[in-house]
Amino acid sequence: MNDWKELTKIALLAILTGTLVYGTFFKSSKSKVRKRPQIGKTTPSTAPSTTIPDNPDMNPLSGQNEFPSASDPAANKSQFPNTNVAFVSEEHDFGAVKQHTENDHVFEFTNTGSEPLLIENAQGSCGCTVPDYPTEPIMPGETGVIKVKYSPGTQIGKQTKTVAITSNSEPRVRNLFIYANVEEAPDPAL
């Protein structure tokens, strides 16, 4: 009789553990996400609202898909009216740089469309490439900049990095490219 009680306890513990593991690791989380307020409206009715994303690739802080796909129609359509943007250059070659250095470049652009340009996200292809982009609307005819800091760390040799810019322009996601030939250098922390 005691054996059955022990087996029942073990079985119930196994079911409880399995449920907790499933709920913690395998079931998609449903975090609340703030939507970006509409342009030009400052009434209390435009206070940030919340939605619950069903997409596991969704960043709960920005509400943006972390990995936009060209085949995903939703990834190619902005919630804002489309405009056009023209970059002075969409690539930059740093040439030879040393390991453990910080290398900065500024990409200049102009809103050549008839609607405000909204840069919704800028994401480097790795942690060594960090973009800084304007969060306020760029009005038609105005210019702006995207600053990119490339820190190669221990990388060595020829490098190609990208910064994916997501905005309400066509195309919705545009890549900026940086190149460098990283030369070996002693680690300054040692």
Query: Same structural domain for residues 59 and 104?
Result: no
pLDDT digits (tens, 9 = 90+) for 100-144: 999 999 999 999 999 999 999 999 999 999 999 999 999 999 999
Q: Specify whether the CB–CB gap between 169 and 113 falls below 8 A.
A: yes
Measured CA to CA in angstroms, residue 66 lies from 11, 45, 122, 123, 160 at distances of: 40, 28, 11, 9, 20
Residues 161 and 95 reside in one and the same domain: yes
In this structure, the answer to whether residues 97 and 117 fall within a common structural domain is yes
**Cα distances (Å, whole numbers) of residue 56 to 18, 52, 164:** 21, 11, 20
Residue 56 has a pLDDT of 45
Structure tokens at 54: 């069903």
Q: Rounded to an integer, what distance in angstroms lies between the CA atom of residue 82 and that of residue 47?
A: 23
Residue 18 CB contacts under 8 Å (≥ 6 apart), including other chains: none
Q: How many domains does the chain have?
A: 3
Domain interval for residue 177: 80-183
Write down the pLDDT at residue 80: 81
Question: 132 and 57 in one domain?
Answer: no
> Is 41 among the domain residues?
yes
Looking at the structure, do residues 47 and 103 belong to the same domain, yes or no?
no
Residue 40 structure tokens = 């030009």
Looking at the structure, do residues 95 and 134 belong to the same domain, yes or no? yes
**What DSSP designation does 185 have?**
-
Is 39 part of a structural domain of the chain?
yes
Q: Do 125 and 99 fall into the same domain? A: yes
Which pLDDT belongs to residue 119?
96
Does residue 174 sit in the same domain as residue 145?
yes
Q: Residue 21 and residue 17: Cα distance in Å, rounded?
A: 6
Helix (H) / strand (E) containing 4: helix 2-21
Q: What is the mean pLDDT of the chain?
A: 78
Between residues 13 and 26, which one has the greater pLDDT? 13
Q: Which two tokens stand for residue 39?
A: 């342009």
pLDDT-based confidence at residue 62 (cuts at 50, 70, 90): very low
Higher-scoring residue by pLDDT: 45, 121? 121
